[in-house]
């Protein structure tokens, strides 16, 4: 089984989710006489990042480098991918289910005329064919799906597939680019960063989420302190109530009309646990709830709960974690 | 400027999902269906654009069964001018849906087609950019606000850690996410007027579905964990559990 994994870079640096996708592909390929190629698209010099994929399970990294490809360009990237996929004769193509991957994959699907499974959380091989596990209805159910076309095209949810370490080095080959960027209709105007260095809630390994219980947007410093104590992989999330109130940006909303997240640790602080919120975070590894109402529904899904006033509990938690990490 | 909005009928977000007898789809008994929340944003965006420009027509299209007429009427009650029901079977294959929509939209070729970023049932997040690619049009996804200018449409697209601003020449396809377009409620007058607005029915032209659902399962219910304690005094024990039992610190 020959699989192509699409790597993702931003600002010329390989993103962590790339290794998850490559390892997931390798996990399938290795048991089924297969091999994995990675496609890395980026600006001049991006080939230096290929070494980051040593040991990820891939045999080859195909590098498509061009000044016009430094930043994600939907038209350009879709066309480059189409060329590489068609030339390679792949059984499957996997992308990360990041906003870039989820934007790019449907275009590729239409160009190749194959169906697409977005945001999958499991891959199995049944009687020689791929079977994909996909959450539907915002995580309230799962479907197992099979695809009646080649290649099987899917995007993989971040934080679900474990990156592996297989110790083998990758071969690097470059892809010839015949595309003329002036024929790409979309013009990229600008990128406005919001979160600084804080990872996005959908990709963060640890999420500290706050709800109406915080009472005032000013009080978010309580959560920000906890987040920073937890380290660089921690991000901030929010309930819809506080997003609608304008306290937090909608990029932070977790739930049915926000983002679906699967961090290894999720703190729900002053969040009641409405069904639409639970839909977005129930696949988290460990859930911790802090709420002063012992009957709040959030405690029904939380692994650990503390009943109490968040303004007393959270600062103490921050302090204990700092102490644990030797910073207090 | 004429605008087409593609909308979808989905189970209400409050719905408790049960697996149906076929084992591959939900049990529709007792399920209340609504206009998908993201599609409400898209309808709202189209209506505001029309109102700001003082001209143009907003057409809503859905691909589905006869029951989807109700969803079309909801959008008409919000203020859309016309509706089209493409009669066809909605499957898990978003490309088949996109082909059905493309066949219809190719004919009228409006400068702007809006969709929701994702349907709230299937979370496919695909029909918009597929439709655009099939039509050979540029597309921006997850757009929280946009503006039509002389050069085309300038879109603010929400991505991890920020906002990407894109300019697309018209005609274009844009998928809408939560942001500027808090949907209006239909007024009583709007609901009455919707009953008389044109709703056309046609047979959808779509390919076969090549993505098969073999089984639908409910997620393992999370077992409620334990209340570690009350107030700040419970914190040291929580930290110990996170470290030693859950292994996450
Ligand atoms: C009655 C019903 C039964 C279904 N049964 C199944 C089932 O058994 N198994 C299964 O896996 N899935 C089922 N679905 C889900 C199915 O709708 C597909 O997932 C869908 O065709 C692919 O689109 P999406 O939901 O992934 O759309 P997305 O790509 O998430 O939708 C994005 C946007 O595209 C537009 N759009 C999507 N679909 C339509 C449409 N039909 N008409 C107009 N605009 C649209 C909307 O603007 C929407 O916001 C069912 C849906 C309905 C309504
Ligand atoms: C179509 C639709 C889509 C939706 N999508 C989403 C979505 O994507 N995401 C989402 O989150 N919601 C969504 N909702 C809204 C959802 O139903 C809830 O209204 C929302 O999640 C409530 O937010 P909350 O928990 O912050 O507020 P509340 O429900 O008001 O809860 C606040 C909690 O804080 C606790 N509290 C108060 N003070 C303190 C204190 N000092 N210390 C400790 N605890 C305290 C209270 O006990 C309470 O449990 C959606 C709703 C609809 C209808």
Among candidate residues B62, B68, B183, the one with its CA nearest the CA of residue B127: B62
Residues B75, B35: Cα–Cα separation, whole Å? 8
Distance A270 CA to ligand 2 centre (A): 8
Cβ proximity of B189 and B206 under 8 Å: no
Distance from Cα A131 to the centre of ligand 2, integer Å: 36
Alpha carbon distance A226, A320 (integer Å):
10
Judge whether A200 lies within some domain: no
**Model pLDDT for residues B85-134, shown as the tens digit of each residue:** 999 999 999 999 999 999 999 999 999 999 999 887 666 689 999 999 99
Please state whether B20 falls in left (phi above 0), alpha (psi between -120 and 50) or beta.
Answer: beta
Is the pLDDT reported for residue B38 higher than 80? yes
B11/B32 Cα distance (integer angstroms) = 6
B37-53 and B69-78 helices, crossing angle to 10°: 40
Please report the pLDDT score of residue B67 as a whole number.
Answer: 95
Q: Is residue A268 part of a domain?
A: yes
Q: Is residue A95 part of a domain?
A: yes
pLDDT given at position B121: 66
Average pLDDT of chain B?
Answer: 94
Q: Do A265 and B228 touch (CB under 8 A)?
A: no
DSSP reduced 3-state for B147: strand
**Is residue A300 one of the residues assigned to a domain?**
yes
Cβ contact B38:B119 at 8 Å: yes
Structurally, how many domains does chain A consist of?
2
| List of chain A residues whose C-beta atoms are within 8 Å of the C-beta of residue B135 | none
How far is residue B10's CA from residue B45's CA, in Å, rounded to a whole number?
20
The neighbouring-strand residues paired with B62 are B85
Alpha-carbon dihedral angle through residues B92, B95, B96, B98, given to the nearest 10 degrees = 120
Residues A123 and A270 in one domain: no
Q: What is the pLDDT of residue A164?
A: 84
pLDDT score of A250: 87
**A78: in domain:** yes
Q: And the tokens for B138?
A: 């540029």
DSSP class per residue in B43-77: HHHHHHHHHHHT---EEEEEEE-GGGHHHHHHHHH
Of A120, A150, A183, the last residue of a domain is A183
Which among A116, A132, A45 is positioned nearest to A78, based on CA atoms?
Answer: A116
Q: What is the pLDDT of residue A167?
A: 74
Look at the block and give the residue holding tokens 């639409």: A276
Name every chain A residue with its beta carbon within 8 A of the beta carbon of B249. 265, 321, 324
Residue B47 pLDDT level (bands cut at 50, 70, 90): very high
Q: How far is Cα A174 from Cα A156, in angstroms, rounded to an integer?
A: 25
What's the CATH number for B3-203? 3.40.50.620
The domain boundary, picked from A148, A183, A218, lies at A183
pLDDT tens profile B126-155:
999 999 999 999 999 999 999 999 999 999
Domain that holds residue A281: 206-324
Let me know if residue A266 belongs to a domain. Answer: yes
DSSP state of B160: T
**Subunit contact B179:A250, Cβ cutoff 8 A:** yes
In this structure, the answer to whether residues A268 and A171 fall within a common structural domain is: no
Instruction: Give the CATH number for residue A275.
Output: 3.40.50.1220
Distance from CA of A227 to the nearest CA of B (A): 13
Does A258 lie at the interface with B, CB-CB under 8 angstroms? yes
Distance CA B54, CA B224 (A): 55
B37 contacts A141? CB cut-off 8 A: no
pLDDT band at B223 (very low <50, low <70, confident <90, very high): confident
The token duo for A66 is 């061009």
- Whether the Cβ atoms of residue A96 and residue A108 lie closer than 8 Å to each other: no
Q: Provide the pLDDT for residue A28.
A: 93
What is the reported pLDDT for B122? 61
Q: Do A213 and A174 belong to one domain?
A: no
pLDDT at A198: 85
pLDDT per residue over B186-209, tens digit each?
Answer: 999 999 999 999 999 999 998 899
CATH code (residue A33): 3.40.50.620
Do A58 and A179 fall into the same domain? yes
State the ligand closest to the CA atom of B95: 1
Please tell me if the CB atom of residue A209 comes closer than 6 angstroms to any atom of ligand 2: no
The answer, yes or no, to whether any atom of ligand 1 lies below 6 A from the CB of B100, is no
Q: Is A199 in the pocket of ligand 2 (CB under 6 A)?
A: no
Stretch (H or E) spanning A86? helix A74-88
Give A-chain residues touching B14 at CB under 8 angstroms.
275-276
Q: Cα(A97)–Cα(B124) distance, rounded to whole angstroms? A: 11
- Per-residue tokens: B171: 């005609």
For residue A328, the model assigns a pLDDT of: 60
Nearest CB to B159: which of A100, A105, A119?
A100
What local confidence, expressed as pLDDT, does residue A327 receive? 72
> Which residue in chain B has the smallest CA separation from A142?
B217
pLDDT tens, residue order, chain A (328 aa)? 999 999 999 999 999 899 999 999 999 998 888 999 999 999 999 999 999 999 999 999 999 999 999 999 999 999 999 999 999 999 999 999 999 999 999 999 999 999 999 999 999 999 989 999 998 887 788 999 999 999 999 999 988 898 888 878 899 999 999 999 999 999 999 999 876 778 889 889 999 999 999 999 999 999 999 999 999 889 999 999 999 999 999 889 999 888 888 899 999 999 999 999 998 898 899 999 999 999 999 999 999 999 999 999 999 999 999 999 887 6
State the distance from the centre of ligand 2 to the C-alpha of A128, rounded, in angstroms.
45
Cβ–Cβ < 8 Å for A81, A108? yes
Residue nearest (by alpha carbon) to ligand 1 atom 3:
B90
pLDDT of residue A109: 98
Same-domain check for residues A175 and A223: no
Q: Give the distance (Å) from ligand 2 centre to CA of residue B177.
A: 20
Clarify whether residues A163 and A242 are in a common domain.
Answer: no
């Amino acid at each position: 089984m020959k699989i192509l994994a699409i790597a993702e870079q931003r600002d010329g640096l390989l993103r962590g989710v790339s290794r998850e996708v490559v390892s997931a592909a390798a996990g399938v390929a290795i048991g089924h006489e297969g091999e994995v190629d990675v496609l890395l698209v980026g600006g001049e010099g991006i080939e230096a990042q290929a070494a980051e994929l040593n040991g990820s399970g891939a045999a080859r990294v195909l590098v498509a480098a061009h000044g016009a490809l430094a930043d994600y360009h939907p038209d350009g990237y879709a066309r480059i991918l189409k060329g590489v996929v068609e030339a390679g004769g792949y059984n499957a193509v996997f992308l990360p289910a990041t906003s870039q991957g989820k934007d790019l994959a449907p275009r590729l699907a239409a160009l190749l005329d194959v169906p697409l499974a977005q945001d999958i959380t499991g891959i199995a091989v049944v009687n020689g064919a791929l079977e994909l596990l996909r959450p539907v209805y915002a995580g309230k159910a799962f479907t197992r799906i099979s695809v009646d076309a080649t290649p099987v095209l899917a995007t993989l949810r971040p934080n679900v597939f474990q990156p592996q370490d297989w110790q083998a080095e990758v071969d690097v080959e470059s892809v010839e680019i015949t595309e003329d960027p002036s024929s790409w209709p979309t013009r990229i105007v600008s990128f406005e960063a919001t979160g600084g260095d804080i990872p996005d809630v959908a990709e963060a390994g640890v999420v500290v989420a706050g709800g109406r219980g915080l009472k005032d947007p000013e009080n978010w410093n309580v959560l920000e302190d906890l987040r920073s104590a937890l380290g660089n992989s921690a991000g901030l999330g929010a309930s819809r109530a506080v997003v609608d109130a304008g306290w937090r940006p909608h990029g932070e909303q977790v739930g049915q009309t926000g983002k679906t997240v699967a961090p290894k640790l999720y703190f729900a602080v002053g969040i009641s646990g409405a069904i639409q919120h639970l839909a977005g975070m129930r696949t988290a590894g460990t859930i911790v709830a802090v709420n002063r109402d012992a009957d709040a529904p959030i405690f029904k899904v939380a692994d650990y709960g503390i009943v109490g006033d968040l303004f007393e509990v959270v600062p103490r938690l921050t302090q204990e974690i700092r102490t644990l990490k030797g910073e207090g | 400027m004429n605008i087409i909005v593609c909308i979808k009928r989905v189970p209400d977000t409050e719905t408790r999902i049960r697996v149906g007898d076929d084992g591959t789809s939900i049990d529709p008994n007792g399920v209340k269906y609504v206009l998908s929340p993201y599609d409400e944003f898209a309808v709202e965006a189209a209506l505001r654009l029309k109102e700001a420009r003082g001209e143009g027509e907003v057409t809503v299209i859905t691909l589905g069964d006869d029951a989807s007429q109700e969803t079309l009427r909801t959008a008409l009650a919000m203020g859309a001018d016309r509706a089209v029901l493409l009669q066809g079977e909605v499957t898990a294959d978003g490309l088949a849906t996109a082909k059905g929509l493309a066949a219809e939209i190719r004919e009228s070729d409006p400068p702007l087609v809006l969709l929701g970023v994702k349907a709230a049932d299937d979370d496919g997040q695909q029909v918009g950019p597929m439709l655009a690619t099939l039509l050979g049009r540029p597309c921006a996804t997850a757009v929280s606000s946009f503006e039509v200018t002389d050069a085309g449409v300038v879109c603010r697209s929400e991505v991890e850690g920020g906002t990407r601003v894109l300019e697309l020449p018209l005609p274009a396809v844009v998928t809408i996410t939560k942001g500027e377009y808090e949907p209006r409620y239909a007024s009583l007058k709007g609901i009455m007027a919707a009953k008389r607005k044109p709703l056309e029915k046609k047979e959808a032209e779509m390919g076969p579905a090549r993505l098969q659902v073999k089984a639908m399962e409910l997620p393992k219910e999370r077992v409620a964990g334990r209340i570690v304690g009350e107030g700040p005094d419970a914190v040291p024990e929580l930290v110990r559990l996170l470290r030693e039992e859950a292994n996450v610190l």
